[in-house]
Structure 1
């Protein structure tokens, strides 16, 4: 069983070494126990989901410059603090199909739209973008492949321990499970660590045996 990297709202942040050159500080914010991740690549900071509790996130950031805020998808609980932090960031990023909805909802400039094949800079390194359609039209996963150790995926609400994120129609579920299988499970090794938008971490190897079960149950 992998480490779960558990955090709770109001509790201490947890800093993880993703590689010899990159750390991720995980903190739980908001009533939905959302995870926000502050990635430090040495030459630049990147925040995955300015989800809620702006004061907590600003305290985590301190006086350090913030290069990028990535919003994993358009649902409000993942951008509720975005307006409060956007002025600190040099760049806002989101999945291309969700970017306009995020801008309208959060009252911020339209994030730069990204999708499959794009990359987001993290200091001198980068995060690969994987687009997944189903939980929302423009949900994205960020993949960090460091010089050593396993790959790390920041999956938003598209993949959790125990299954895909919520969908609202059979067609949306089929789209999400197909994208997960083709773009995530068929591409990333079993030791890949999954850091979801809520709750604890898991690995691709832990979840892989259950793909058929998820398809059969339809959620």
Structure 2
């Protein structure tokens, strides 16, 4: 029986008002991503010390563009045999001053409904000078079927909040009250997520946004 899914996946997210990052898995297929988008009329730049063989892509326009462009990039790739998911920022999920910990929604119409247990996992960390008010949240992105399975596994150990739309699960938000309470460091929590998902055969892209410890003002 043929395995569902694609041999290459791409996760697309905005990095500026006029730019989006394309994260391929595996990374050594980034040239395929570039060529597929060129066929659709989109030009991207490949980045990384080993580009163009291994790396990531950046799509850029001179002027700001809407979230629908991210969806068009994702659809163009999926229609050309590369499973792609585009995400747009909706709002802060933790409120307050934590603008870099956000709520995401999926954009695009023809994303793969089934994957090969390939996820993009990104942890966002907010630190305060005193440690009071520290917050961390991890987001997992992928196909609806993969996310359903991942959420069942993760919810047994973590505080998870699935984000769904009429087409299925779009993402999983994993909150980390242990970090806020000072009982666990983010990298330990991220490793725990790896252990849970890896034991079930999940793989993919992992990133961490950590601004470091800010200095207290005198």
Q: State the TM-score, normalized to the length of structure 2.
A: 0.34
Q: Select the structure of larger CA radius of gyration.
A: 2
